[in-house]
Amino acid sequence: MPVNGVALGAVAVGSVFTYAGVKGYSIPEAVQAIVQGKSPAGLTKRYPVDSPVDLPAGGTSAVGGGSATGQAIANKALSYSGAGYDWGGRADRPGAWDCSSFVSKVLGEDFGMTLPGGGHWGSAGYPPHAHGPTSSSYTSYGRGISRAEVAAGDLVVWGSHHIGIAINNSTMISARSEHSGTGTSSIDGDTRYFGAEPTCRRVGT
């Protein structure tokens, strides 16, 4: 049976799109690299969150405006800055998490909080035995607050797309990508990317 060249080309293009999407590469740059006979593995990765921003000198001095518990949550989350990222990771160890399992690690293990769905760290279906709650599960967790009220320790959630822990009203920390790992970013910068305001939840007292 003859091979249809158009169909084969469509499969090849589809494969490039899938590869670039999974790996976080720019699709046009991946196509250009392949056409030039180069491996796209050396390309700069493009991820659905903006580049990390630098904290003011002193690091945790940026934490403020929240309750004592909120500041404690933010400080603990910041202590993981520089750890890695693993999509779908279960947070068995720092850096083996994705955005939602990072939040579950901080709240569930470090602070012993009940997690969305009523389970605790170590319960069946929860970390470290399983991934546990997804980011969308956190959209109804805690108490709803406005974007203007966001302070240290609050959760900032873009539905099923991403979740982070605020360290002040403008900056958050999250498990971002394989390329960026766990680090800080602009809350409003991520909002511009996702094209929607985040759901903001207060979990501290």
- The per-residue pLDDT for 17 is 38
- The per-residue pLDDT for 90 is 86
Those residues whose C-beta lies under 8 Å from the C-beta of residue 202, and which sit 6 or more positions away, are: 70, 142, 143, 144, 145, 149, 153, 154, 155
DSSP letter assigned to residue 107: I
Give φ, ψ of 109 to 5 degrees.
-90, -50
- The per-residue pLDDT for 32 is 64
One-letter amino acid at 72 equals A
Burial per residue of 132-143, b for 16 or more beta-carbon CB atoms within 10 angstroms, e otherwise: bbbbbbbbebbe
Taking alpha carbons only, the member of 140, 142, 139, 172 closest to residue 157 is 139
pTM for the model stands at: 0.70
- The per-residue pLDDT for 65 is 56
Pairing between strand 171-177 and 181-186?
Answer: antiparallel
- The per-residue pLDDT for 179 is 84
- The per-residue pLDDT for 25 is 44
The whole-number mean pLDDT for each consecutive block of 10 residues of the chain, a chain of 205 residues, reads: 42 40 47 60 46 39 59 93 89 88 92 91 90 93 93 93 94 89 90 89 87
3-state secondary structure of 194: helix
- The per-residue pLDDT for 1 is 46
- Domains in the chain with CATH codes: 5-42 (no CATH), 60-202 (3.90.1720.10)
